[in-house]
Amino acid sequence: MADKFPYERVVVTGGAGFLGSYVVAKLRQRGVENVFVPRSKEYDLVNLTDVKRLYDDTQPDLVIHLAAVVGGIGANRVNPGKYFYDNLMMGVQLLDEARQRKLKKFVATGTICAYPKFTPVPFKEDDLWNGYPEETNAPYGLAKKMMLVQSQAYRQQYDFNSIFLLPVNLYGPRDNFDPESSHVIPALIRKCVEAIDRGDDHITCWGTGVATREFLHAEDCAEGLVLAAETYNQSEPVNLGAGFEISIKDLTEKIAALTGFTGRIEWDASKPDGQPRRCLDTARAEREFGFRARIGFDEGLRQTIDWYRAQQPR
């Protein structure tokens, strides 16, 4: 790690969000005093005028672009057009404006949804273009993936330093627990805790439970992002993951046990499973900038459950 973080003025789009809050904390730990977090009510990053105003107001030398319009399977099915347009326009305009203003570096975060639906496990970065993404989240995944194309094209033509990182599914304290838009871990935690509070004898979960996922604690992901911002200067995409795979059925049983829910778990197979399997090859991140996940999965789940319970009204 460098003795001093090499950038002095950093914009973190999405810095007030779940992952962003951890990234901002990591930057401050490294002594970065000028960290700017644009709020959506002040800057609509889908709007080029607002993007230009953000750069005028903050004069960054580094942008870490985390902002996204995103949700779980249900939200993706309802909003494919919005998720495509908003995410595409944010990425394209932020990156192009950074290039025109000759910023020192741009860190783009993609999504695991960018991988083909049937990707050999573990997912290697070289497999990114070997098929179409899983249909329910393809518009979102492809919109984010365009930043990889742009990053590589801009490095080739303009020698602009941008990088593209692919975090796997995240979880941890401060996650989104809204039942309309949450991802699987917070959704299951909420389901189990509410069932306990109501005295229900069962919970019903989407799909069959056979699909697999990999999960990375948001604090680990933030460390990977900041390490890459410090030291990685190539446009080849890099996975950020924990390097393990768990079925949704096993995950549900684990969360039920950790929350203390002892009722039945029923499966609604009429609902989609999403991508059949997800597990990343994480060798490139370790090789290129020394990143490895540190927080154990059970430990991280306990932290997340405790945080959620602490938010409940007494």
Catalytic residue among 140, 154, 171, 232: 140
CB atoms within 10 A of CB 171: 22
Q: Rounded to an integer, what distance in angstroms lies between the CA atom of residue 75 and that of residue 94?
A: 25
For the question of residue 140 being annotated catalytic, the response is: yes
Q: Distance between alpha carbon 21 and the CA centroid of its chain, in Å? A: 12
Write 293-296 long-range contacts (CB < 8 A, 24+).
293/216, 293/217, 293/220, 293/241, 293/242, 293/243, 294/220, 294/223, 295/217, 295/219, 295/220
Supply the angle between the helices 248-259 and 297-311 in degrees, to the nearest 10: 60
Residue 253 makes CB contacts below 8 A (sequence gap 6+) with 265
Give the type of residue at 228: A
114, 145 contact by CB (below 8 A):
yes
Question: What residues are annotated to the active site?
Answer: 140
